[in-house]
Amino acid sequence: MAATSEPITTRRAGRPRDPGADGAILRATLDLVAEVGLSGLTVDAVAARAGVGKATIYRRWPSKEALLFVAVATLSEEPPVPDTGSVRGDLMELFAGMIDRFADERSGRLVVEMAAAAAQDPALLELQREFVDRRRRSGRGILRRAVARGELGPDVDVDLVLDLIVGPAAYRCFLSHQPITPDLLVRALDLVLAGLAGTAPEVDRSPGPG
Amino acid sequence: MAATSEPITTRRAGRPRDPGADGAILRATLDLVAEVGLSGLTVDAVAARAGVGKATIYRRWPSKEALLFVAVATLSEEPPVPDTGSVRGDLMELFAGMIDRFADERSGRLVVEMAAAAAQDPALLELQREFVDRRRRSGRGILRRAVARGELGPDVDVDLVLDLIVGPAAYRCFLSHQPITPDLLVRALDLVLAGLAGTAPEVDRSPGPG
Amino acid sequence: MAATSEPITTRRAGRPRDPGADGAILRATLDLVAEVGLSGLTVDAVAARAGVGKATIYRRWPSKEALLFVAVATLSEEPPVPDTGSVRGDLMELFAGMIDRFADERSGRLVVEMAAAAAQDPALLELQREFVDRRRRSGRGILRRAVARGELGPDVDVDLVLDLIVGPAAYRCFLSHQPITPDLLVRALDLVLAGLAGTAPEVDRSPGPG
Amino acid sequence: MAATSEPITTRRAGRPRDPGADGAILRATLDLVAEVGLSGLTVDAVAARAGVGKATIYRRWPSKEALLFVAVATLSEEPPVPDTGSVRGDLMELFAGMIDRFADERSGRLVVEMAAAAAQDPALLELQREFVDRRRRSGRGILRRAVARGELGPDVDVDLVLDLIVGPAAYRCFLSHQPITPDLLVRALDLVLAGLAGTAPEVDRSPGPG
DNA sequence: TATTAAGCGAGACGGTACGTCACGTCTTAGG
DNA sequence: CCTAAGACGTGACGTACCGTCTCGCTTAATA
């Protein structure tokens, strides 16, 4: 039907990119960053480890930081869109993995270094923002459903609430370096929910949909 | 007999370090970091700007990051120990400056980069921890006084509360890059205080820790 | 079957070294050493003058001394293999250029500095030895031909004779710093040839100094 | 008599120089140069080894090279003024020690390095020239006595003869690095004396260089 | 006896060059 | 057009010495 001169599978001239190279490079990157950290990571080392020329890396990603961001992205699956029936349960499920990452020494350090890299490069910042926004979108959904359910008042400051829940763990990971215990999330969450209960909905006392 | 054989002002042999050099170096560092950012900062440039040999810098600080930490430390005065009469007022006063720093683009970026540096170097991490702990100590005092006053229940999780208040701004500065508006602090604070009121409820009028 | 599986022009993988760089570096080296002397020669300056990165230099030569040796070697053509018909003429021709180098202030100084460098580095010493040996080989040929011709007795101490001829100029260049006049070579040569005539020839059978 | 206002022992005000320091410094210099060579010699190391401040060294000598020259000078006694009755014996005695120094690997290297230093600094060159001239003066005396005795013709080129005798060893030490055997001096000497016998004196019946 | 001038060990000072390393680009021959 | 290999120019790194300059102290000769 379509009289398009464009072939279905766009195929540029010349030798196609080795599809195996991408994987090898990303794998090498993750291995190395685990071994020596971001600051110790060098493109030469990635190339050597992946058995690949440096140009092959630069043809795909504009900098070693971009490479790292993509490599890390391959690790992390889509954040969950939980539906336990209660805000509390949903938010717990949503943020559990994130807090774990902050808590782990190695991955926590990596997050900080990546944040620093993103702070200096708008492109990376965009990648990073997109990344955290996926979780935020899920969180917004959770809160909106809770409002719909009547669990929360209609004028909840959604973003603030989400930030309050992850904030403590983030702050400890980045700056204060106080311990990030597994119950940090619960305690923050409960205090915030208590705050929401106390502020807004004088009426609502319902325990939510059982 | 002699209480101490150690003289009051221990003076090592040899020419003493030029006390003017420290200031010149730190000033040059701050100037340069403001102009070109941490990543653009070079020890050579600092030396040149300060009119000092590179060795004079390395004699004092082991790395440009350490230098930067000290330089930044010289800027920041002791965090306030406010006493407005209310937790809310006290905490507002305590954290206002901190949130401002997160909010400002340039200084925010610097905070992130410094956090990344600290994540890689235990010595810097210690400096950083000490730095944020000064504010935390002040915050703990505020909360304890509030407990004593009966404004808060006796079982407040002090550290958690403090982390909840600064957490959102920190999180936005480091990761989500959502806007850090001046009212972010107030809103977080009020929600948290509401949570505390809801948790440790109105019943409590106890005159403080007995 | 195949005489050699090794290709004639061994070509390693990767980008070949820029052949122009070698020339530029060597030229810059010679220029600079002429301007500022060996001790004033710096690798940075050579790199800058040659329009080349420092690493490009260090990739080719392990030290600035090695570089200088090679640079100087490019200047000096193969020593002559004269055949004037007489030992005297041949040796004059062979050593004239060498003595000139000793005599010239600048190049004399350079020779001394290079000798000092060679004294500290076995690799350079080998280069140097090879260099002077080329002339020595020519000299040996001259003397052997003279022996064949009957001009000299068959038991001439070839190496000693050659050293005697250049020795004075070398000694003056390196240590005594007495004038190295154009006739120094002739006079040394004539005295040595006279000695050979007195020692060896058909008449003389005297048992030497008792 | 002399109405000099200058005291016999010139004595400036202030604390006199520690006479022990000179010795300690020179000793440390020689030790170190033996261990690490001239190029590895540093003033800091000399000061540390001698238990002396760097300024104490620079107060006495203007550079580490000057220091070394003086240090080496303290080792070497006045060259002999031999009188064995024959030119041959006298010259042998005069130059034996010198050739030994050329022959020894370590001291030979040092001589070359010192020559290079002298080539770059007129003051050192003067020191060096003075040093070698002492031996030369002795050699001139020897030859003049030989002329007086009739052992040599009256028109001997004194300086040339001396240079011819030490030349080979010097040349081998500095440049060709061929072996410097103990008999090198004898052989050179005999050849030169043969040359002198053949050239000059009326007694001599040899046909000369044809 | 008090002052003063220089020397002392120690070590910091401003410089300069070193040789290394990683960056991101470019140039080979070959697939 | 891609590939592996590896050389390229750039530019910062941290180190090592240079020769000079304070420090607080000690040691004579002078006043």
Tens of pLDDT, residues B109-130: 999 999 999 999 999 999 999 9
Q: How far is the CA of D50 from the C1' of E10 (A)?
A: 13
Tens of pLDDT, residues A66-115: 999 999 999 888 889 999 999 999 999 999 999 999 999 999 999 999 99
Contact C164 D164 (CB under 8 A): yes
Q: Looking at the predicted structure, is the pLDDT value of residue B80 above 80? A: yes
C20-74 maps to which CATH number? 1.10.10.60
Q: Class assignment of domain D76-199?
A: mainly alpha
Distance CA C136, CA C80 (A): 11
Task: Name the residue closest to E21, CA to C1'.
Answer: C55
Give the one of A157, A170, A195 whose C-beta lies nearest to B192's C-beta. A195
Give me the pLDDT at residue B100, please.
Answer: 95
From the Cβ of D42, is strand F under 7 Å away? yes
Contact D192 C197 (CB under 8 A): no
Tens of pLDDT, residues B51-79: 999 999 999 999 999 999 999 999 888 89
Cα torsion for B136, B142, B148, B153, to the nearest 10°? -70
Return all residues near A107 (Cβ < 8 A) that are at least 6 apart. Answer: A101
Q: Tell me how far apart the terminal alpha carbons of chain A are, to the nearest angstrom.
A: 55
Neighbours of chain C (3+ CB pairs under 8 A): D
Give me the pLDDT at residue C198, please.
Answer: 76
Instruction: Determine the Cα angle at D22 with ends D20 and D23, to 5°.
Output: 70
Across C3-27, average pLDDT: 76
From residues 23-52 of C, which are strand F contacts by CB within 7 A?
A: 47, 51-52
Q: Looking at the predicted structure, is the pLDDT value of residue D209 above 70? A: no
Q: How far is the CA of B54 from the C1' of F14 (A)?
A: 9
Chain C residues with CB under 8 Å of D153 CB are none
Q: Looking at the predicted structure, is the pLDDT value of residue D202 above 90? A: no
Q: How far is the CA of B75 from the C1' of E9 (A)?
A: 38
Q: Do chains D and A touch (3 or more CB pairs under 8 A)?
A: no
- Strand nucleotide closest to residue B13 (CA to C1'): E10
Chain D residues with CB under 8 Å of C64 CB are none
Q: Is the dihedral of CA C165, C167, C173, C177 positive or negative?
A: negative
Contact D119 C128 (CB under 8 A): no
Instruction: Tell me which nucleotides of strand E come within 7 A of a protein CB.
Output: 4-31
- Let me know: does C90 contact C82? Beta carbons within 8 Å: yes
From the Cβ of B43, is strand F under 7 Å away? yes
The CATH number fitting domain B19-75, selected from 3.30.830.10, 1.10.10.60, 3.40.50.150, 3.30.70.2190? 1.10.10.60
Distance CA D48, CA D29 (A): 11
> How do the domains of chain B map onto residue ranges?
19-75, 87-199
Q: Which fold has domain A79-199?
A: Tetracycline Repressor; domain 2 (1.10.357)
- Let me know: does D112 contact C121? Beta carbons within 8 Å: no
| Interior/surface letters A89-105, b for 16+ CB within 10 angstroms, e for the rest | ebbbbbbeebbebbbee
Q: Looking at the predicted structure, is the pLDDT value of residue C7 above 60? A: no
Q: Looking at the predicted structure, is the pLDDT value of residue D205 above 70? A: no
Tens of pLDDT, residues C146-164: 999 999 999 999 999 999 9
Q: Looking at the predicted structure, is the pLDDT value of residue D62 above 60? A: yes
Question: Which residue bears the tokens 């004196």?
Answer: D201
Instruction: Please name the residue of chain B whose CA is at the shortest distance from the CA of residue A176.
Output: B129
Across C87-101, average pLDDT: 96
From residues 69-88 of B, which are strand F contacts by CB within 7 A?
A: none
Chain B residues with CB under 8 Å of A119 CB are 108-109, 112-113
Give me the pLDDT at residue C14, please.
Answer: 84
Give me the pLDDT at residue A97, please.
Answer: 93
Chain D residues with CB under 8 Å of C123 CB are none
Return all residues near C190 (Cβ < 8 A) that are at least 6 apart. Answer: C88, D199, D209
The alpha-carbon gap from C118 to the nearest alpha carbon of chain D, in Å, equals 9
Tens of pLDDT, residues D148-195: 999 999 999 999 999 999 999 999 999 999 999 999 999 999 999 999
Q: Looking at the predicted structure, is the pLDDT value of residue D47 above 80? A: yes
Contact B166 A164 (CB under 8 A): no
Q: How far is the CA of C97 from the C1' of E19 (A)?
A: 37
Burial zone of C37 (CB within 10 Å; 0-12 exposed, 13-18 middle, 19+ buried): middle
Counting residues of chain B whose pLDDT is more than 90, the rounded percentage is 81
Question: Which residue bears the tokens 């080719």?
Answer: C60
Across D99-118, average pLDDT: 95
Q: Looking at the predicted structure, is the pLDDT value of residue C9 above 80? A: no
Question: Which residue bears the tokens 């990596």?
Answer: A110
Query: Tokens representing B71?
Result: 């330089």
Q: How far is the CA of A118 from the C1' of E19 (A)?
A: 33
- Strand nucleotide closest to residue A57 (CA to C1'): E24
Across B120-147, average pLDDT: 94
- Let me know: does A169 contact A184? Beta carbons within 8 Å: yes
Q: Looking at the predicted structure, is the pLDDT value of residue C57 above 60? A: yes
From the Cβ of B3, is strand F under 7 Å away? no
Architecture category of domain B87-199 in CATH:
Orthogonal Bundle (1.10)
Work out the pLDDT band at D10, boundaries 50, 70, 90: low
Work out the pLDDT band at B178, boundaries 50, 70, 90: very high
Q: Do chains B and A touch (3 or more CB pairs under 8 A)?
A: yes
Q: Looking at the predicted structure, is the pLDDT value of residue C5 above 70? A: no
Q: Looking at the predicted structure, is the pLDDT value of residue C4 above 90? A: no
Architecture category of domain D19-73 in CATH:
Orthogonal Bundle (1.10)
Q: Looking at the predicted structure, is the pLDDT value of residue D11 above 80? A: no
Give me the pLDDT at residue A15, please.
Answer: 76
Distance CA B109, CA B111 (A): 5
Give every residue of chain A whose pLDDT is below 70, as ranges: 1-13, 199-210
Query: Tokens representing D93?
Result: 């005695």
Contact D206 C201 (CB under 8 A): yes
Identify the CA nearest to A115 among candidates A166, A165, A174, A39: A174
pTM for this predicted structure:
0.86
Contact B166 A163 (CB under 8 A): no
Query: Tokens representing A27?
Result: 């794998």
The rounded mean pLDDT for chain C is: 89
Contact C178 D157 (CB under 8 A): no
In a 3-state reduction of DSSP, which class is residue B45?
helix
Give me the pLDDT at residue B7, please.
Answer: 45
Q: How far is the CA of A15 from the C1' of E21 (A)?
A: 34
Q: Looking at the predicted structure, is the pLDDT value of residue C133 above 60? A: yes
